[in-house]
Structure 1
Amino acid sequence: MTPGTVPLLLWSALVVAAAESGGEREIRALMEEQMRALMEEQMRALMEEQRGMRALMEEQRVELRHTKAQLDTMETRLRASEKLVQQLRSDIAGNLNLMGSQMEELRRKREERRVAFSASLITSGHVSVGPANTNLTLIYRNVITNIGDAYNNKTGIFTAPVRGVYYFTMFIYGSGHNWVSVGASLSKNKEHVVIAYCHLPHGKTSASNGASLLLEVGDQVFVILYTDSWVRDSYNHHTSFSGHLLFPM
């Protein structure tokens, strides 16, 4: 049944009732009253429907505001997460660089602590050094080992690269002579430490000595040939100078 069907039926009923009563005035008044009541009822229904629609729209509006708030919160969290990821990436890169620097420093220090050398006077042939009327620094030109490059075969001087305790040995070889000895001393910064010495009137002779020394960075250790002494060396490397780092300090 359509909305217009009810008023039409009511109208028909009113016409019939009025005709039966025979009063035209009563019919008009009754019709006006019924129409007014019908219109008021329809107005109330429309207003109620409008109130329902407004309430529904308000609910949807509130729901949309809530959804927007949730979206804003999610966007804020997403931005915070992106910043956190960027910070973590930056921290990781910084830590990797720091670890690389630390590893390089450890490698450098490890390399510095690898110090050892051995050298003899000559590579081949035969040579005698001395005697002289003054002390001479023996220059061991034939480098056998020089880990850390702390020994200089052009000056005969070992220079400490790190602070620590080092152990040095020297072996000397020579010919006996009535007035020429075979003798040399281990020196630290021109300060006498130990001596290797022998004196025979004839024949071949040799001597050796060694010492552990606490050296600061830059301290120098070398071997001095005594005045009026000589040493000899050959391809057999009789006369040698060696040293190595025992431990850093």
Structure 2
Amino acid sequence: MIRDNLSAAVGAALQSMGIDPLPDLHLERPARREHGDWSTNVALASKGSHGRNPREFAAELVETLAAMQIRHVDAIEIAGPGFVNFRLADTWLHDVLVEVVEAGDAFGRPDIGGGSQVLVEFVSSNPTGPVHAGHARGAIYGDALSRLLEATGHRVTREFYINDRGVQMQNFAASLAAVRDGREVPADGYAGPYIQTWAREMPAGVDPLEWGYERCLGYIDETLKRLGVEFDSWFSERSMVGSGAIEETLGDL
């Protein structure tokens, strides 16, 4: 793209002027349109390397760049204490459109990842109630990040880490059982309207913990799919603890 081309040209010009090593090259859009399309402060930033008046150095840099006849550059000018501004010809817009058409769906998808594997764990709400607005926000962010990683050459696994053990699960099960049996919900239990609905659905004789866990997880999955968010892996904390993997890892450490 044009920014990369300009950066490469500036780097080559600096090397031909004896600047080694090269400083960090910053190209940015000028705050004011009349100052051109792109600008660099490299003459100021590299003063420690060339030891000259930045504006005088910028003048030599402009002369060197002009001699390179950079494609799509209409004019190169000095501004202020040593900024170098580039004005682009309209031809660069045409070339970009041609590139977009030729690349098709591959346009804007640089292979940064090179097929490397990335695990993105997100949402991971407790299976004790429906998805709320905060969970939904995390779902959108996580899915967007996953899609960006995939578009840049990464192999992504989307994981929902299920917090299915601990006090909150016991309180959830106790709440369902209490409502089903016509008792008051425990003080540290869950009292949302969904508890009333699910407790009425829960068959007699089932384990409230296991039934409630499956009911809630299914509801979470359904809600997220309605958002267009799906997971490759639903990883249970309970299964990890039960496998002995934590103790084994601690032993290895």
| TM-score, length-scaled by structure 2 | 0.20
Higher strand share: 1
| TM-score, length-scaled by structure 1 | 0.20
